[in-house]
Amino acid sequence: MALRVAVAGASGYAGGEVLRVLLGHPAVEIGALTGNANAGQPLGSLQPHLLPLAGRVLAETSADSLAGHDVVFLALPHGQSAAVAEQLGADTLVVDMGADFRLRDAADWERFYGSPHAGTWPYGLPELPGARAALEGSKRIAVPGCYPTAVSLALFPAYAAGLAEPEAVITAASGTSGAGKSAKPHLLGSEVMGSMSPYGVGGGHRHTPEITQNLSGVAGEPVTVSFTPTLAPMPRGILATCSARARPGTTAESLRAAYEKAYADEPFVHLLPEGRWPATASVYGSNAVQIQVTHDPHADRIIAISAIDNLAKGTAGGAVQSMNIALGLPEETGLSTIGVAP
Amino acid sequence: MALRVAVAGASGYAGGEVLRVLLGHPAVEIGALTGNANAGQPLGSLQPHLLPLAGRVLAETSADSLAGHDVVFLALPHGQSAAVAEQLGADTLVVDMGADFRLRDAADWERFYGSPHAGTWPYGLPELPGARAALEGSKRIAVPGCYPTAVSLALFPAYAAGLAEPEAVITAASGTSGAGKSAKPHLLGSEVMGSMSPYGVGGGHRHTPEITQNLSGVAGEPVTVSFTPTLAPMPRGILATCSARARPGTTAESLRAAYEKAYADEPFVHLLPEGRWPATASVYGSNAVQIQVTHDPHADRIIAISAIDNLAKGTAGGAVQSMNIALGLPEETGLSTIGVAP
Amino acid sequence: MALRVAVAGASGYAGGEVLRVLLGHPAVEIGALTGNANAGQPLGSLQPHLLPLAGRVLAETSADSLAGHDVVFLALPHGQSAAVAEQLGADTLVVDMGADFRLRDAADWERFYGSPHAGTWPYGLPELPGARAALEGSKRIAVPGCYPTAVSLALFPAYAAGLAEPEAVITAASGTSGAGKSAKPHLLGSEVMGSMSPYGVGGGHRHTPEITQNLSGVAGEPVTVSFTPTLAPMPRGILATCSARARPGTTAESLRAAYEKAYADEPFVHLLPEGRWPATASVYGSNAVQIQVTHDPHADRIIAISAIDNLAKGTAGGAVQSMNIALGLPEETGLSTIGVAP
Amino acid sequence: MALRVAVAGASGYAGGEVLRVLLGHPAVEIGALTGNANAGQPLGSLQPHLLPLAGRVLAETSADSLAGHDVVFLALPHGQSAAVAEQLGADTLVVDMGADFRLRDAADWERFYGSPHAGTWPYGLPELPGARAALEGSKRIAVPGCYPTAVSLALFPAYAAGLAEPEAVITAASGTSGAGKSAKPHLLGSEVMGSMSPYGVGGGHRHTPEITQNLSGVAGEPVTVSFTPTLAPMPRGILATCSARARPGTTAESLRAAYEKAYADEPFVHLLPEGRWPATASVYGSNAVQIQVTHDPHADRIIAISAIDNLAKGTAGGAVQSMNIALGLPEETGLSTIGVAP
């Protein structure tokens, strides 16, 4: 029998993407689609690429409209998920694609988000040590941020294997869909095409504490994170260029061995053959992660680079992957590792 | 039992796309992948987005390498398909994604392609009147060109209903993948980003006789075609802006009725609600076609616009759709109407 | 002595571009810069590319702030120019980059713009027959729309020489800056990158009556215009693909002769050598126009294609060109025919 | 009297850009334009954006064709400049936009370029301490690489002021024109649009020793450089994200003071107001450099980011700036600080 799934916030990019993924999921039946400003409108005018749902009309996001579903995906502005989740029964699987339940440290939350901490849910990055087990059978899932997904997967094997000093320096380039669908002048096509620009520089980006939490957790000691996000002229994709000073004795070979071990059984993470490097185009629209790592002998640093689709593995694909685990379905159900390229 | 499918020319864009589609086809097992210059290389280095096939190695295109398959897709430069097809058994389904067997008029072929005419195969645009029946059970399929697909679907209902004068004026914008994967200076990213430019102006583009053949066949009289293709700064997609003078009595309502009738039962063609117009982003990576039509009362012209993905519905998706029909499979098997957007 | 020049609406794309051009004009001193919502802000935060003006602060648009200048450029939403112009002295040269004073037919104005007609000023497309003379010494200039600039220059020589039937069919692709700097969801980078889409289809675009006025004026008879604009994934540029049925006897040679004659002495219009076609990248940031024309013998149609920069020759460059003429300066002063490419 | 200037390698991107800049230089008359494969072709077909030179025909690159000029710009593949330069008189100013004479360390040269070291010429980055003086009156100039320009300007003030530890970690995103005009499959528009990808990872990029040379020279001690270049989906521009651990006592204020001091009198370097960050679009087509710097207190690192146009300030604009200095002309002659945006 099909799982009945609702999506709250179906008019935005995360909501649209989770619907795109769920439309290909054989165990799912799509139930309520809700919005706020857009309630009453047909999805066809809001998400014209989702042809099979073109005639569906958005309901108001409310306890009523979301009731009676097996799974509810939340694609809401941060700070709004807790109130909605409370109204859903304890046996409804709630998958929050927002930030509200990602951080364990309440002080971090308050410093970066400026509101009271709502709590912590099992973290939907199954590839992280221990994460998959915590997701099994869970009724609540906090989907990771897009940057933390890309960065954590690029770097954690080096920390897990004790090969990296606890100071990570990260620059990541993201497609513009990461900034959402709200119309802001600096996100106009005229502004972003042909331009690269940084933002949240100097430790201010909200994904910084989440990256720190992930890497420190794996390293077993505090990892200092310097994270600079940049906006790239493309709709989707994150390329995360991550580096850390190597611990004594680290070599390209020991790194490769550590990454091969970490990802040997992971269905979505593809450690590229030596000499080839990730490109965001290769994972466009898919749940795949491309990773490569090397040691720069002159600077004695580890360089690990990952490419993901920020909306897919970085948000909605990762969310469905975690849903599959929570529900005991095969983890790959409904998910693709095939990018749409060129 | 799975159909065994080979792809000749697997390193190019059409070959890569048909593999992307076939990987999602439940009745297919992917057999030989062949190339010429790239024979011996792993697909992972040529098509890094096709993760499940990364380790497959390209064979030489030959009768031997292509033998023993139920279906063979040809993605070869024009003029090469006939020789390969001859070597394949009469009960192998051969789907030619090149131009060789599209035109019925040998003189047209010779004028536009400069080589002897190889023949004519059933034409893989099932939505055209009569085309689907000709494909059923066929062992040979000529996949239409990408522009003829977009243009014919935009205009044929107007001709079928006798609403348009037999002079079509067409401007189409195509993504750069339509020009193939051969490295030519004018196709460099530096040249095409930020630029729109026409080519093949004045009736010289090879898709002109194919468009003429399709529209004239439906109209039952010769249709004169003025076709101007332009290169747009995007990897995929065709937006075809098509117009023709209206026959007396044609109205927006009679046009809409004609298009609704033509596409009522078509699974891949989506006539948009009135007031909404196609966008190539909405069909990115999918086999869907978006169409809208109107009547400009001042100029007394019909304006019909379609959007397709040139590699998907315009090439490889259309090819698999026709394969399904030829083999008696449900037409939608393995094909998506969901675009990857934004 | 330097001309003192003010710009009303300096925070938008037209305002920014006229400043970019004027900064390179040797006879100009930049005076007041005004805005409404952005008054009080430094230009450096609104137009960060205009480094020499980074510290200038926007004043409110008012009679006071604009007083005391030799030239005032208006880059205002349509309907607002008349009120501002009235407050400026009759010996101030007022250059309106909006639509208010372009149309001669009040009924056309009211039908397309929905407000009372403000009047008609000398039309700032000097290449049109008669237009240059009307600009000389004028104190009021109506700068043409960007599409009418591209289309009129592509087609008028054919009409002037009596080579074209009076039914023009036009498709034009524009960069997104043509839609302005107001943040609207469909103009987000995420939406426009990778997408082509039409708008204002079926005769509804406001530039249609202006194109009709220009072509009919040259033809000496009413020309029917079918105009379809499309949005292209690039910040700047218009590629206008224009066609009309050829009058009997029209040949590629007679067309070329007509265009050579029309543009023999024009400093900004470049009729390309035979066989080469325009590209918007070639005129990026410049006041140049690239044009090519041919005759399609099979369809017996004239195909004329132009490329301009919509903000430069299509708006601000054309405005400065007309200013030069009005003031008796050499027409090319401060204007470039060199594109920024690749 | 005008300086007579020749450009060897006029068909490529660097050659085209130096011509674009020189066309706006009031003291220059453009003489011989040379090429190899393209000799005999008109520039109009190779650089269609350079309208005023459309009819000029390329000569063979040779001592004869380049003789009799006051200045010769070399835009040649590396390894070819020395032979050409030797044939030019000692009183011809030779400006090499290639790599041949940038490095002082012959071993570095041989390791990264695989050919014998040709020598070292005065280095054309006038903003570097001591560089301007070395350029004055010189008859030979080595134009810096595009990445070293962006990175050195972003970081050297921190090293000059003793605020940074000698380990720099740099990620830079470059537009595709940095890879040149040779047609290679991975540089096709279809491949690069929508994609970010790294290359030369792990210390292998040839600009690494040049960056090291510049930063170590300023620091007065060896600076270790970890440099990762990435290819971004845009034609032009470099965004360099540079970081280094802060020396004890370094603050945002001491950094700002150091940068203000370094750039107080520099005409082309714009240290942005606090809180605003560079964007490549803002310097498109101009010789300007946008820079911002901050201190991340949590990670205790300096983050300095610069944006340049790789072809302009990063190659041809910087070359003309250095030419001006060498010849005793005002340094800003013919150079713009106004970007072409949006």
pLDDT of residue A275: 94
Q: Which of A22, A146, A155, A302 is catalytic?
A: A146
What digits encode the pLDDT tens for the residues D139-194? 999 999 999 999 999 999 999 999 999 999 999 999 999 999 999 999 999 999 99
Over 80: is that where the pLDDT of D1 sits?
A: no
Report residue C262's pLDDT band, with 50, 70 and 90 as the boundaries: very high
The mean pLDDT value for C45-62 works out to: 97
Do B338 and A290 count as a contact with CB atoms less than 8 A apart? no
pLDDT of residue B182: 93
Over 80: is that where the pLDDT of C1 sits?
A: no
Q: Suggest the residue from D17, D47, D186, D190 to mutate for an interface test with chain B (most B CBs closer than 10 A).
A: D190
Nearest C-alpha in A relative to C231: A189
pLDDT of residue D141: 98
Q: Which residues of C touch D20 (CB under 8 A)?
A: 338, 340
Do D193 and B189 count as a contact with CB atoms less than 8 A apart? yes
Contact C285, D285 (CB under 8 A): yes
What digits encode the pLDDT tens for the residues C173-188? 999 999 999 999 999 9
CA distance B125 to B150: 10
Round to the nearest angstrom and report the end-to-end CA distance of chain A: 37
Report residue C323's pLDDT band, with 50, 70 and 90 as the boundaries: very high
Handedness of CA C121, C125, C128, C134 (dihedral sign): positive
Do C235 and A181 count as a contact with CB atoms less than 8 A apart? no
The mean pLDDT value for D33-53 works out to: 96
Q: What is the percentage of chain A residues whose pLDDT exceeds 70?
A: 100
CA distance B283 to B311: 11
Over 90: is that where the pLDDT of C125 sits?
A: yes
CA distance A145 to A96: 11
What digits encode the pLDDT tens for the residues A109-125? 999 999 999 999 999 99
Q: Where are the alpha helices (DSSP H) in chain B?
A: 13-22, 43-46, 63-66, 81-87, 106-113, 131-135, 146-160, 189-192, 208-219, 252-263, 317-327
Q: What is the percentage of chain D residues whose pLDDT exceeds 70?
A: 100
Is residue A146 flagged as an active site residue? Answer: yes
Do D234 and A233 count as a contact with CB atoms less than 8 A apart? yes
Number of H helices, E strands in chain B: 11, 13
Distances (CA, A) of B198 to B85, B229, C3: 34, 6, 41
Of A13, A182, A193, the CB nearest to C189: A193
Handedness of CA C16, C17, C23, C28 (dihedral sign): negative
- What residues have CB less than 8 Å from A89, skipping those under 6 apart? none
Over 80: is that where the pLDDT of D257 sits?
A: yes
Q: Which residues of A touch B24 (CB under 8 A)?
A: 336, 338
Q: Which residues of B touch A45 (CB under 8 A)?
A: 273, 276
Mean pLDDT across chain B: 97
Q: Which residues of A touch B337 (CB under 8 A)?
A: 51-52
Report residue D342's pLDDT band, with 50, 70 and 90 as the boundaries: very high
Question: What does DSSP say about strands A93-96 and A140-142: parallel, antiparallel, or unpaired?
Answer: parallel
Do A184 and C181 count as a contact with CB atoms less than 8 A apart? no
pLDDT of residue C243: 98
Of D13, D285, D290, the CB nearest to C285: D285
DSSP conformation letters of A159-196: HHTT-EEEEEEEEEEE-GGGG-SS--GGGBHHHHTT--
Q: Which residues of B touch D183 (CB under 8 A)?
A: 183-185, 187-188
CA distance A75 to D178: 40
Q: Which residues of D touch C51 (CB under 8 A)?
A: 270, 286, 288, 337-339
| 3-class secondary-structure state, position B235 | coil
How many Cβ atoms from other residues are within 10 Å of residue A45's Cβ?
A: 14
What digits encode the pLDDT tens for the residues D94-130? 999 999 999 999 999 999 999 999 999 999 999 999 9
pLDDT of residue B19: 98
Q: Name the nearest CA neighbour of C232 among C185, C278, C179, C181.
A: C179
- What residues have CB less than 8 Å from A187, skipping those under 6 apart? A176, A179, C183, C188, C189, C190
How many Cβ atoms from other residues are within 10 Å of residue B132's Cβ?
A: 18
Do A183 and C188 count as a contact with CB atoms less than 8 A apart? yes
Report residue D281's pLDDT band, with 50, 70 and 90 as the boundaries: very high
pLDDT of residue B83: 92
Beta strands across the sheet bearing C93-96: C59-60, C28-35, C3-8, C71-74, C93-96, C140-142
pLDDT of residue C342: 97
Q: Rounded to an integer, what is the distance from CA D249 to the centroid of its chain?
A: 33
CA distance B18 to B318: 9
Q: Name the nearest CA neighbour of A201 among B81, D232, D293.
A: D293
CA distance B214 to B125: 10
Which neighbouring-strand residues pair with B56?
Answer: none
Report residue B69's pLDDT band, with 50, 70 and 90 as the boundaries: very high
pLDDT of residue D110: 95
The mean pLDDT value for B234-263 works out to: 98
The mean pLDDT value for D207-235 works out to: 98
Quick one: DSSP state of residue D179? G
Report residue B291's pLDDT band, with 50, 70 and 90 as the boundaries: very high
Nearest-CA distance from B145 to chain D in Å?
Answer: 19
Over 90: is that where the pLDDT of A1 sits?
A: no
Peptide bond into A342 cis (omega under 30): yes
Contact B224, C299 (CB under 8 A): yes
Q: Name chain A's partners: 3 or more CB pairs within 8 A.
A: B, C, D
pLDDT of residue C341: 97
The mean pLDDT value for A32-61 works out to: 97
Contact B255, B295 (CB under 8 A): yes
pLDDT of residue D94: 98
Distances (CA, A) of B52 to A287, A336, B2, B24, B335: 13, 10, 17, 11, 18
Q: Name chain B's partners: 3 or more CB pairs within 8 A.
A: A, C, D
pLDDT of residue D45: 95
Contact A128, A156 (CB under 8 A): yes
Handedness of CA C104, C105, C108, C110 (dihedral sign): positive
Nearest-CA distance from C51 to chain D in Å?
Answer: 6
H or E element that contains D208: helix D208-219
What digits encode the pLDDT tens for the residues B129-178? 999 999 999 999 999 999 999 999 999 999 999 999 999 999 999 999 99
Q: Suggest the residue from A47, A174, A188, A311 to mutate for an interface test with chain C (most C CBs closer than 10 A).
A: A188
Q: Which of B3, B146, B316, B325 is catalytic?
A: B146
CA distance C37 to C58: 10
The mean pLDDT value for B95-105 works out to: 97
What digits encode the pLDDT tens for the residues B205-232? 999 999 999 999 999 999 999 999 999 9
Do C191 and A189 count as a contact with CB atoms less than 8 A apart? yes
pLDDT of residue C290: 98
Question: What does DSSP say about strands D164-174 and D238-246: parallel, antiparallel, or unpaired?
Answer: antiparallel
ipTM of the complex: 0.97
| 3-class secondary-structure state, position B308 | strand
Q: Which residues of A touch C38 (CB under 8 A)?
A: none
Over 80: is that where the pLDDT of A196 sits?
A: yes
Q: Name chain D's partners: 3 or more CB pairs within 8 A.
A: A, B, C
Q: Suggest the residue from B241, B283, B305, B340 to mutate for an interface test with chain C (most C CBs closer than 10 A).
A: B241
Report residue B274's pLDDT band, with 50, 70 and 90 as the boundaries: very high
Which neighbouring-strand residues pair with B171?
Answer: B228, B241
